[in-house]
Structure 1
Amino acid sequence: MKKLLLFLLLAAVLVSGCGSSGDRDCVNQCMEQDHPDCVAGGWSISGAPPDCVCEYICPEGRNDNAVAEPAETEPACTEECDSSGCLGPAYYECVSKPGGCKGKSDLKVAKGRCGIECLSNSDCSGQECVAYKCKAQAVSLDLKDLPGPFSEDAILIVGANAPGSDVAAQLAVSSMLLYEGGKKFESKLDTQVSEEDYSHNLVLIGSPCDNTIIEKVFGIVCDGLALNANQAMLKLADSRGKAALLISGKTPAATLKAANQVANYGDYGLSGSEMVINAA
């Protein structure tokens, strides 16, 4: 009997010693670890301390910790548009946007909208386009720039009762403009001038006693020229946003001499807005 008890005790000790203590240590080590991948699964453990390999295996197709993708939603309307309108010089229209919104279209600048008068000089008759507005072009008031604006547009005016030499002076200047490729010019008597003619560049020839338009444009009355007998005046001035040129001598001969210098401006070194010509 004593031998049987001794045998059973020995067997129990042997059984308790079976199995690797290293395996048990890896189990304990792995079980203490977090397993963020999922909450339903089991450990796969291999190796021995300190090289334990711990892998938590989730059931196929299940990941309880996966972050759910947010459901797609229609974008909220960030702006509403009830009618077309202006933002400065640009205008916009109400157009349909994703999600059924009504929003503003891309901004556009167009003639006739939002106070826009012009987009280029071609939109302005005889004027220039500045900040989307038609404005009178700055005229050159320097004789060195002849023929300047007069080659684009000019009316040459002499008095109805002027001497024939004033008509010759008118012809000399018009011939120069024709030679220079003048686009639009005509000759008139002072009695033929209309209110509309003042919107053009003007060349006024002769004495203010004969040519009544000189007083209206330059404010010089009959016998108001402070010149000697053999002198003539060349004078440029702004007239309603256009250029006006005065060719006026104390005598008809002096006027013709000054007109010939204008016609041959390149030979006489004309400059400034006003010059006195010695016609002797």
Structure 2
Amino acid sequence: MDTVRDALRVVAPGLAELPITLPDLVGRDEPLWMASSAAVGEEFVAKVAWSAPAARRLAHEIGVLTALSVPFLPEVVASSTEPVLLVTRRVPGKSLFAVVDSVDRDHAGRQLARFLVALHDPSTRAAVERALGPLPAPRVEASTAEIRARLGRWVRPDQHATVTTWCAWADEVLAEPRPSVLVHGDLHGDNQVWDGNRLSLVVDFETTSAAEPEYDLRAFPSTGPDCELLTATTQHYEHLCGRSLSLDRIMAWHLRTTLDDLLWRSEAGIPLPDHRSPTAWINDLTTRFAKLQIGP
């Protein structure tokens, strides 16, 4: 708390005496993730870091937001890299996960596609790289070999056999690299702010990197049980920019990211985000592959 207030006194002194509410950082002992967003009064959010790796990620986000010109960005009120602090204006709304059952999937997909098409445009990448230099590759996740070797203790034997088949399929699908664009890198539901049926903000640009467009949609299959938001978004994306997206590649990335998350959280003794079991997550993957009629 004191660290946040001290940084505000330097970067945004007019906000320094407002009430500050800092969420619990349980499960964030790893230096890379030692960062958080604090509510400052009722109108602002301050993002801070408590380790060198986390500070580098936050400084990267500050640079990206300064260079970006796409819809649905947060309003930057103040920022600094010494001390590292990002203050944005708070807007009313909820996570996509909280509203996905009530929003019109087609309307929501159209808005998300608008954001993604603008983000993936070559001119957007060029603008950011002029400001920051070459974009990094995405964070390295567990390889499919590591997943096959280590996941067995957390799931049923029949599920582990299925995971092995899935991993071989994903390796084959992703064997040939595709041209890269600027990607958000972590576009799950909690990094979107929705006001009813309207997308207000996309937040958390710490992991902005260079990857193929499908990489940015890898969290979409887990948004709702029916995959309708994924299919609506891809259809609107293709209509807006004329670029085809591969559902196979999206699902291959989705598989790798989901199993990586399942593996490291299980090994670290950290609950999965929805507090369900690893076996339930594998069942969900089976349902999504069947719903989309793709996979091994």
Is the helix fraction higher in 1 or 2? 2
Larger radius of gyration: 1
Q: One fold, TM greater than 0.5?
A: no
Is the strand fraction higher in 1 or 2? 1
**Which interval holds the TM-score relative to the shorter structure?**
under 0.3
TM-score when normalising by structure 1:
0.20
